[in-house]
Amino acid sequence: MYGPPPAPPATPAVPAVPVAPVTPPLRLSPKVLLTDPIRMLPSLILPLAGVLFIGGFSPGSFLWAAFGIAGSVIYSAIRWATFTYQVVGDRLELTRALISRSVRTIPLERIRGVDVSTPPLHRLLDIAVLRIDTGAGGNDKQEGELDGVTAAEAERLKAVLLWHARARAGVPAGSGPGAAGAAGTVRGAAEAGTAPGAGEPAVTHYGTRGAGTPAPDRVFISVPRRWLVYGPLSGAYLLTPFALVAGAVGAAFQWGGELGLGERILWSAGEWLWDHPLLLAAAFALLLLAMPVIGVVMYAVFNWDFTLRSREGYLVAERGLLTRRSVSLERRRVRGFELVEGLVERRAGMARTWAIVTGLGDSQTRGQLLPVVPLPAALEVAGEAVGRIAADLRRHPAAARRRRLFRAISPWLVAAAGGLVAAVTEGSGFWWALVAAALLLAALGVPLGLDRYRSLGHAYDGSRLSVRSGSLRRSQAVVERRAVVGWTLSQTWFQRRAGLLTVTAGVGAGTGGYAAVDVGAAAGVDFVAEVTPDWLAPFVDGGTPA
Amino acid sequence: MAGQANGPAARPGDVPLRDPAHPVSRKAIALWLLEGMFWTVVLTLGSYAVSGWIAGARWSWLPGWVPDNIALLPWLVGIVLVGLSVAESFWRYATHRWELTQDVVYARSGWISRDWVFVPVSRIQTVDKAQGWFERMLGLATVEIRTASHAGSSTIKGLDYGVAAELADRLARRAEELRDDAT
């Protein structure tokens, strides 16, 4: 994983950091005494109901139930009273002293971002949940969560944490590979308040940004509400109606007994429905009709008023109707963006955008830069916020088209041939139907293969490279040159026959690698040599051996 | 080297990259042969079990000649796999090569399909030296070079233990000098 910079210098002079007021240990807002028990309620209902039932609703049973509720409130209160957090020098300490005393220490320089979200109940009480992302890669235990700080405190803490994180990490955006390994030096310099020659530009840059003149927020886009109707084009939330029905049926079985509905009644209800196919079909049609509507509603709930803005070195994306979610991505860790278009979205000229960020866990939800928006807007915003590529995609040779077609068609033709053999020997209608289906899919493979070929492309404009592929889900990645940590060129036997090559740029962010599929063999090597000439030059045929 | 012509004679479909400087150890052929034989035995025994099952079951949907000749299946599997693993071992030895310049590790691997990997030393995060069971028997080792991305990571297999140790050591030292945290 992403280790810390090599040998962080020992920091003997912790208090020397200019703006690091040692705050006293702080508690969460007392309002969590309200939210915590309410959140625990669902898990308490069953035991409570059980106690009441067993006790036959006698006064004694009510007493026990009351005990249970009181117990949970007291538990919350103790939890609240024993949990404190504090910024100490260069780290955040979360102390929990419920049974045994545990201190979780999060070095501020490891903080990659801070999420503030406000679930509905929290919003009523004007408190928020603050989550600290340390880029620990999916291991939730490594991350800190402060559930229930006041909204004002959340903002303050976020500012403090992010300010420190940035100041400590030292190297500002754009300093590039030149600042290799200088992180330690720069950090040391920043602390001591002196600037040795080598680190100077970085430090002065840091100084101007960190000197308390925060750049005003800049809003890249505030997605208009009318664009929310395009949400289901991505296919997201379309199956919600079916999921809801399935959930309802499951719940009916689980809870039916307690509501006086025997399982037998439910089964007979199901059988009755099965005996009236017309009704069943109507219900199914209704669900189908509900798909887009419910899809839009669900999508709107999650993506309401999506705004993307920049705030002091962070990209901040906010969205959501009931739970307002705000995700901060450190800009100097953003290496590029990925533009994804489904087939339907492409017809409608829509696209979704993700940021390619180093060391971001759960990047699928956190890294989202834009929801479904028109393609020009997506390109414009991603270009402004992350960086645009100034070169057009280069097409891949005709051999690539043959290969895409072959791969889209031949599996179905093979299946059809197999089915044909079986159909002739067996002569059953089932096999003939299978053959027909396989042939249909093979025919569909023609436009699919052609479209896959049209999607292929790669480009480099001097500072960013881009690759694109896919048809049903076409995705184009634009990545900074400095993010490339290696290359893999691969060639299957078929590709070798066709004189093609797949070039994968290894990137320590996002999915880890972005591939230009089926480039011409020479063009592929040229592409690598163009992006990173010094790495490849000694190895290209005709080049001078090192 | 087949299909890897150097100089102006290269066909248009060839990859215009020269061979990495060093071959792997000759003993690697034995390594690949051993591994191939191991899988040959496993799969042959497996197909023997399957053929016994099919011969015993006599499913109606199978054409009659299948259960009649199913006893040949393990023989077929065994012979094909022995041939393949012999071919693979020598082919791999011809393909697998590596080279370390001042700044870049260049390695080629594969047999039917091939991979060329370029890893700049400045982006290396860890260098591991590993020895499998067969490798220890033959005095070979594998060097695993990792960066922040799987596509920028390389595994050089079948090196003499001494060569691997020296390579890992040199890489680790050089990576320390050139380390670059831009990723």
Contact B118 A540 (CB under 8 A): no
Nearest to B181 among A183, A501, A536 (CB): A183
Residues paired with residue A356 on neighbouring β-strands, in sequence order? A336
The residues near A309 (Cβ < 8 Å, ≥ 6 apart) are A217, A218, A219, A220, A315, A316, A318
The residues near A535 (Cβ < 8 Å, ≥ 6 apart) are A487, A528, B103, B104, B118, B120
Does the pTM surpass 0.95? The reply is no
- Give the residue extent of every domain in chain A: 14-169, 219-223+305-387, 226-303, 398-539
CA A147/CA A149 separation, integer angstroms? 6
- Answer yes or no: is the ipTM higher than 0.90: no
CA B168/CA B158 separation, integer angstroms? 14
CB atoms closer than 10 angstroms to residue B153: 23
Residues paired with residue A336 on neighbouring β-strands, in sequence order? A356, A479
The residues near A55 (Cβ < 8 Å, ≥ 6 apart) are A61, A62, A64
| Residue B172 C-alpha, separation from nearest chain A C-alpha, in angstroms | 13
Which residues does chain A have within 8 Å of residue B123's beta carbon, measured at their own beta carbons? Answer: 485-486, 508
Nearest to A123 by CA among A146, A144, A150, A145: A150
Q: pLDDT tens digits, residue range A210-237?
A: 334 445 678 888 888 888 888 888 777 7
| Residue A482 C-alpha, separation from nearest chain B C-alpha, in angstroms | 7
Query: Dihedrals φ, ψ of A29, to 5°?
Result: -65, 140
Element (H, E) at A202: helix A200-210
CB atoms closer than 10 angstroms to residue A28: 23
Nearest to A167 by CA among A90, A66, A282: A90
CB A336 within 8 A of CB A386: yes
Which residues does chain A have within 8 Å of residue B103's beta carbon, measured at their own beta carbons? Answer: 534-535
Contact A499 B17 (CB under 8 A): no
CATH annotation of B97-178 = 2.30.29.30
Note the Cα A132 to chain centre separation in Å.
15
What is chain B's percent helix, strand, coil content, to nearest 5?
Answer: 50, 20, 25
Nearest to B28 by CA among B101, B91, B118: B91
Contact A501 B6 (CB under 8 A): no
Q: Which residue of A has its CA nearest to B102?
A: A546
Q: pLDDT tens digits, residue range A173-194?
A: 333 333 333 333 333 333 333 3
Using CA atoms, how far residue A67 sits from A48, A77, B125, in Å, is 10, 15, 56
Structure tokens at A6: 């090599």
Pick out chain B residues at pLDDT < 70.
1-13, 58, 63, 179-183
Nearest to B117 among A483, A484, A488 (CB): A488
Contact A540 B16 (CB under 8 A): yes
| Residue B137 C-alpha, separation from nearest chain A C-alpha, in angstroms | 31
Q: pLDDT tens digits, residue range A409-447?
A: 999 999 999 888 888 877 777 888 889 999 999 999 999
Which residues does chain B have within 8 Å of residue A540's beta carbon, measured at their own beta carbons? Answer: 16-18
CB B15 within 8 A of CB A521: yes
Contact B153 A177 (CB under 8 A): no
Note the Cα B25 to chain centre separation in Å.
13
Which residues does chain B have within 8 Å of residue A482's beta carbon, measured at their own beta carbons? Answer: 182
Which residues does chain A have within 8 Å of residue B61's beta carbon, measured at their own beta carbons? Answer: 426
Q: Which CATH number fits domain A14-169: 3.30.200.20, 2.30.29.30, 3.10.20.30, 3.90.1150.10?
A: 2.30.29.30
Contact A488 B115 (CB under 8 A): yes
CA B168/CA A145 separation, integer angstroms? 40
Task: For residues A65-77, give the mean pLDDT.
Answer: 83
Contact B120 A535 (CB under 8 A): yes
Q: pLDDT tens digits, residue range A471-506?
A: 889 999 999 998 898 999 999 999 999 999 999 999
Contact B149 A485 (CB under 8 A): yes
Q: Identify the DSSP state of B20.
A: P
The residues near B139 (Cβ < 8 Å, ≥ 6 apart) are B27, B160, B161
- Give the residue extent of every domain in chain B: 27-92, 97-178
